[in-house]
Amino acid sequence: MNIQVPPPATKSPDATARVLVQALPHIRRFAGRTVVVKMGGGAMTDPALDRSLAQDVLLLKSVGVRVVLVHGGGPQIDDMVTRLGLTPEFRDGLRVTDAETLDIVRTVLVGKINRELVAAINREEPVAIGVAGEDGGLLRAAPRDAALGFVGDVVEVNASILQLLLDDGLAPVVSTVGADAAGQAYNINADAAASAIAAALGAEKLIYLTSAPGLLEDPADQASLIQRLSLSELRRRMEDGTAGAGMIPKLRACYEAVQAGVGAAHILDGRLPHSILIELLTDAGIGTMITADGAPQE
């Protein structure tokens, strides 16, 4: 789906006013609520998009929305692994993470990507703060499978850490390396981590920024966007194979979040500037929204 957003200079004052008036009920609805945004590594390769994200976060904060960012970094980790002469290895879509690879994951996620995202926001206004899943037991992890090495699942989220930061007017930026009770670090899938964080915070929205327009009826047809799905419809698509295999982990994370009480989950095209604002503050949804069965239309 090719979405064109006209530059501000082409809009008449009347059109601009209509956009602002349209945003008002959405602003009232989300004021004081929490929105969790998960950035995929593929959506973090353009400095202009980093600035667009920063502006979205700051605008939402200015109207009272509490924003938590969660990021992955698969492409960047692959690049570092390859540069060090190693070969990335995956099983069922999860990175096999031995001790050496875990060090690379921590370096890239915590030391590089997290700092760059924090800096991109703080260049606009100093409100972002980086947090690793290991910090203060934020993401308590347990090993997934011995064959995967140090790959973990989230078993507990210490949401109070994020609540305190949000109460102080900050925007936490979370890198998804967690730890078990003994302090052993684990590489955690960022989609699953964002879902667990959104559920623990009782978030109104969970948003996944991807390199696709959303869930497509036909993966080869960008115009076949599925705009809305209930949990039962989503479960059927995951079970009967009509959802592409590459999208299944993200869809499963959306399903688990909404089932746990998150208001709605969204899959948006992170390559589109200001996609978060367009989805949340206008009447024209641009991605796929997953809601509980029987939820009212938005």
- The yes-or-no verdict on residue 290 having pLDDT over 70 is yes
Better-predicted residue by pLDDT, 238 or 183? 183
In this prediction, residue 271 carries a pLDDT of: 86
Which tokens go with 218? Answer: 């036909």
| pLDDT tens-digit series, residues 163-178 | 999 999 999 999 999 9
Q: How far apart are CA 145 and CA 152, in angstroms?
A: 8
In this prediction, residue 248 carries a pLDDT of: 82
User: In the predicted model, what is the mean pLDDT of residues 119-144?
Assistant: 95
Domains and CATH numbers, the chain: 26-291 (3.40.1160.10)
List helix spans (H) across the chain: 13-30, 47-62, 74-83, 99-106, 114-124, 159-167, 190-201, 231-240, 248-259, 275-281
In this prediction, residue 245 carries a pLDDT of: 63
Give the CA count within 13 Å in the CB-facing half-sphere of 84: 16
Mean pLDDT over each residue of the chain, to the nearest integer: 88
- The yes-or-no verdict on residue 289 having pLDDT over 70 is yes
- The yes-or-no verdict on residue 17 having pLDDT over 90 is no
| pLDDT tens-digit series, residues 19-61 | 677 778 888 888 899 999 998 765 566 677 788 889 999 999 9
As a residue count, the chain comes to 298
Q: Are 97 and 149 in contact (CB under 8 A)?
A: yes
In this prediction, residue 217 carries a pLDDT of: 84
Q: How far apart are CA 118 and CA 120, in angstroms?
A: 6
Give the CA count within 13 Å in the CB-facing half-sphere of 283: 7
Is the pTM of the predicted complex or chain greater than 0.85? yes
In this prediction, residue 16 carries a pLDDT of: 62
Q: Are 233 and 245 in contact (CB under 8 A)?
A: no
Instruction: Identify the bridge partners of residue 230 per DSSP, sorted by sequence position.
Output: 291
| pLDDT tens-digit series, residues 242-269 | 776 678 888 999 999 999 999 999 999 8
Q: What is the DSSP letter of 170?
A: -
In this prediction, residue 244 carries a pLDDT of: 67
Q: Are 219 and 278 in contact (CB under 8 A)?
A: no
Residue 74 CB coordination number (10 Å): 18
Rg for the chain, CA atoms, rounded:
19
DSSP letter string, 106-163: HIIIIIIIHHHHHHHHHHH-S-EEEEETTGGGSEEEEES-GGGBSEEEEEEE-HHHHH
Q: How far apart are CA 270 and CA 70, in angstroms?
A: 14
Vertex 284: Cα angle to 283 and 290 (nearest 5): 95
Strands 185-188, 177-179: parallel, antiparallel or unpaired by DSSP? antiparallel
